[in-house]
Chains A and B, each alone.
Chain A
Amino acid sequence: MNILLVEDIELQEQWLRDELSRAFRCEPIWIQTESEFRSRLDEIEARPPDVAVIDVMLKWADPSPDSPPAPPEWDRHKAGLHCQELLSSREKTRNMPVILYTVLDATDLRSEELPPNVSLLNKDSDPEPLIKRIREVTALSLSRQ
């Protein structure tokens, strides 16, 4: 199982990595910011993971003199959605299962407008709901193939 994990808080990522690697015996690919996601999109498309777990609220980038400037009207609350849309725009990742893993409410994200391969899951201190969802969406994806 190849899991792409997009999460900007390291402590959160560490905990998720531990739990997912224990559950799926894999080492998730970790991307921390939206600008990093954009810069590695080709790489992701070249070797699409089985599932992407994306935090909706992300930084644009880490502070650095070399950081690319954020686009005008960039919104932290929609950074993860931008990443999901980028995946949907690429042929090889269009139908890849995406789990939006967030503290935001479903109504904030207009879940009714999300494509069928994208689902929403609220963050929890218990990793089991996420593990269960990953199994469901990957099984479904396999059956379609």
Chain B
Amino acid sequence: MEVSTRPSIDGEPILDLIATALGQEELSGLCEMLEGIARVSDAYGCILWQETPPTGPSRDHLFVLAHWFQDNSIFATHDIPIEGSATGEAVRTSRTRNVEDVHKGRIFWDRFMKETGIQAFCSIPIDFVDGARGAVNLYRKEAQAFSASEIVQLERLAFLVPRLYQTILDRVSFNLISKVTEISHAADLRVSRGALLSRAEMHTTLRQICKQVSNAFQCIETSIFMEDRLETPGVYELVATTWPSNLPFEKVTYRRKRTEGATGWVLEKAKAVKLFDLARFDAKSTGHEYPSLVWKDSLDIKSTVRMLLHKRPSEELPPLSFMAAPILWGKTVFGVIRCSVARQGPFYFAERELNLLSLVAAQIGRYWHSWLSQRELQLDLHSLEALVQSMGELNSFVHKELTKPAPDEQRILREALKVTSNVIHGAEITDVRLLDTETRELYFATTQGRYWNSERRNLRFPMNDDESSAGWYVMHTGETYIVNNVKKDKFYHKTFANTKRLIVAPLSLGMERGEKPEPSGVLDIRSVIDRDFSGSAIHVATLLGRQLALYRFLAQVIHDLRRSAAEQEMLKNQRIRVFQDMDHQFKSPITQAHARVQALLKLVDDEDVKQRLLAVRGLCAKAKRVSMNSGLFASLALEESIRAVKEQCKGSDLVKLLIEATQDNRLMVSSRRQIGAHVEPDGIEYLNSIKLDKNLLEQAVTNVLDNAFKYSYPYTHVKVSGGLTKTGRFFILVENEGIPILAGEQALCILRGWQSEAAIPFSDTGSGIGLWIVQHIMLAHGGDLIIEPTRNRKTEVRLVFPLE
């Protein structure tokens, strides 16, 4: 055996090797390089050995990292000890071993030699870039040793292998990162244009990344597990994988804080893991680097890989390497990406591969965070949109309910809870608690959601000063309270065992600074999912609490107003009935007094006595008029119409009525004013076909005359006349000279309660209902009250009756 020292690097084979390396885009390029080296020496095959990692199951051994054979054979790892093997000796001594005849001397790998028919080999020690030791072995089937010059050549080439492999690795890393960046960038572009990716589209993107990773590492499996915090918090679901779908898969979900296998360990510890060979996993040997990591082969992975690699049961398998990196955003673990089972050399995931996988994980983490943020934002927007719409609908509902004669507060509260569940994501269990002002306890007024039962509904919460509960806090401060972790909150009362989060908002109309809060109750919103309420939830809850308080306030005000209005109406009706009753009570004695005075006037001759009796008659007439006005006013106020009982009247009787009414009214004004009065009978006394209600007519005429005398100037005349109009209607006309009625005031005169500002100082009495009553009397007859505006100081008021 010849042993050589390290050579200088030159020559065409070296250039070929470099060219081969630089042309590689995949890790399998390592095998291409080994092929190139084998061909240089016309070898049957070439194996690149690497020392097993210190945390692997077989320390101080060598395993096949990559190989090439002329007949494309795949040889599994065969752990050969560093002590006791020719290759091991080369590694230990850093000196090439050239074995001319494998049958001579003790060669460790007997079975391999027998199976392949290898006669000779040489083993050239190398050092990998990361410091691991290894060797490049060339094998011949012929019994021909490698010559010294060949050894020199091979040593040169072997020296380059680790470095050129690093070049390939760098290129593969660069390409992988570029492709992953390109894929996620394409997705980001869509988001930036306003199109939020759906879950399916997101999973497609991650599948594309999985495929790229699998290609780069040449592994059968690349899988990504992610937690969608908005939908299924605490659950890491399989979202993408390259594992063949027809083969059994170990697990599709992992749960937070449950360490299950290597993947679960990564999720819990947020640390990356690489395992040399799953088939020979040994918790003890990995315990130092990965404490408490336990992995069980529940799916017989060796059989599966054997099938995938087409290996016979008797054949050995390459290392079933495994690596997994957490997908992080800050300290938050979004998920994990893992790779397992290289399908061709290099069969081992070293630190360099794990670092690359971690870079990919970081990209995925950034991308996932962006997507979640966009979705959260959209959820918030949707919530706000839903809130605006819901508030509009709720207001309409409340408005409709409050206009009912008996609004139902329960219906309003239930509707408000429905809105709460719609607009606050995660509001699973909601309720309104109101304050019992007598016992000073909160009780459940309305509830919504699952988990309610009669026992819970009957719970009451004291509001004494020494209490401490979320409801107590809110009632005393008037502030909304949010509990993000009920287990750690001192105020949480544990009404529901499965509540995770809670918001309690006051039913309060808001406070001015310095005011003491006086909520009438609280709105409780409970979530049973392991996910925080959105940032806007607390504000939405506060708003809903205020709306509920406002609705209750309005309902109470409306209730009080209606009750007050009903009472007022009742009182009004009572008063009006009193007026009616007074009229009835007055009518008889006044009418009798009037009649007796009339009778006395006929018996008396003394002029002085007559005048006094006329004054009494005038007072009786005024009392009768006021009494009847009160009765008519009461009837009209109760919306009872005046009924005219029409009877045939003679013109002469009407003249007498007019004369008497004129006299009575004249006596009511001061004699000092010297107001004359005259009734012109001509147009009336010979009429026979007048049909009207005499009592109502008298009332109407005396009301008009009362105004005429009251507002006449001194030394003027009030004239009463009548007749037929051109169309044959009967009319009575009252003319006077006094305080004018202006053009715009005619319509106002007949309004109830209206009095001319100009006239008030010149009147001793009056409430503005006289002409209003005259108007209704004329309406009852089907006639008209016509008031002409004053012209040349003369005012005319005409009562026109229909043809009968």
Contacts and interface: CB of A to CB of B under 8 A. Distances in A.
Contacts of A64: 713-714
Contact of B713 (A9, A32, A59, A63): A63
Contacts of A14: 615
Given A9-B764, A58-B764, A76-B760, A63 B712 contact: yes
A74 B761 contact: yes
A47 B745 CA distance: 45
Contact of A32 (B618, B668, B670): B670
A63 B670 contact: no
A73 to B, nearest CB: 11
Interface in B731-772: 738-739, 759-764
A72 B710 CA distance: 21
B764 A59 contact: yes
Contacts of B726: none
B713 A10 contact: no
Interface residues of A, number: 20
A62 B669 CA distance: 10
B733 to A, nearest CB: 21
Nearest to A67: B762
B768 to A, nearest CB: 13
A65 interface: yes
A114 interface: no
A29 interface: no
B761 A70 contact: yes
A63 B671 contact: no
A14 B618 CA distance: 14
Contacts of A61: 761-762
B713 A8 contact: no
A10 B712 contact: no
Given A10-B669, A63-B759, A64-B713, 14 more contacts: A8-B670, A8-B764, A10-B671, A32-B670, A57-B764, A59-B764, A60-B761, A60-B762, A61-B762, A62-B714, A63-B713, A63-B762, A74-B761, A76-B763
B670 A65 contact: no
SS class of chain A's interface: helix, strand, loop or mixed? loop
Given A10-B670, A10-B672, A59 B763 contact: yes
Contacts of A10: 669-672
A36 to B, nearest CB: 10
A59 B760 CA distance: 8
A127 to B, nearest CB: 16
B668 A11 contact: yes
B642 interface: no
B619 A11 contact: yes
B667 interface: yes
Interface of A: 8-11, 14, 32, 57-65, 67, 69-70, 74, 76
Interface residues of B, number: 23
Nearest to A13: B670
Given A11-B667, A63-B711, A65-B713, A32 B762 contact: no
Contacts of A67: 762
B673 interface: yes
A63 B764 CA distance: 11
Interface string B703-745: 0000000111110000000000000000000000011000000
Interface of B: 615, 618-619, 667-673, 710-714, 738-739, 759-764
Contact of B615 (A11, A63, A65): A11
Q: Which 4 A-B residue pairs are closest in the complex by CB-CB distance?
A: A60-B761, A70-B761, A10-B670, A63-B762
Nearest to B757: A70
A59 B763 CA distance: 6
B53 to A, nearest CB: 108
Nearest to A34: B761
* Most chain B CB inside 10 Å of its own CB: which residue of A63, A64, A69: A63
B588 to A, nearest CB: 20
A59 B669 contact: no
Nearest to B711: A63
B672 A63 contact: no
16 contacts: A9-B764, A10-B670, A32-B672, A57-B764, A59-B761, A59-B762, A60-B761, A61-B762, A62-B670, A62-B673, A63-B710, A63-B712, A63-B739, A63-B762, A64-B713, A70-B760
Nearest to B762: A63
B718 to A, nearest CB: 12
Nearest to A15: B615
Contacts of A69: 761
A14 B714 CA distance: 20
A50 to B, nearest CB: 25
B35 to A, nearest CB: 120
A124 to B, nearest CB: 16
A63 B716 CA distance: 11
A62 B761 CA distance: 8
A30 to B, nearest CB: 9
Contacts of A62: 670, 672-673, 714, 762
Contacts of A70: 760-761
A14 B670 CA distance: 10
Nearest to A59: B764
Contacts of B669: 10
Contacts of A57: 764
A14 B611 CA distance: 12
* Most chain A CB inside 10 Å of its own CB: which residue of B618, B714, B759: B714
B543 to A, nearest CB: 50
Nearest to B669: A10
A69 B764 CA distance: 16
B249 to A, nearest CB: 97
A1 B711 CA distance: 36
Contacts of A9: 764
Contacts of B712: 63
A14 B763 CA distance: 19
B61 to A, nearest CB: 118
B272 to A, nearest CB: 94
A6 to B, nearest CB: 13
A85 to B, nearest CB: 18
Nearest to A74: B761
B325 to A, nearest CB: 92
Contacts of B619: 11
A71 to B, nearest CB: 9
* Most chain A CB inside 10 Å of its own CB: which residue of B669, B738, B761: B761
Nearest to B709: A63
* Most chain B CB inside 10 Å of its own CB: which residue of A14, A65, A74: A65
B621 to A, nearest CB: 12
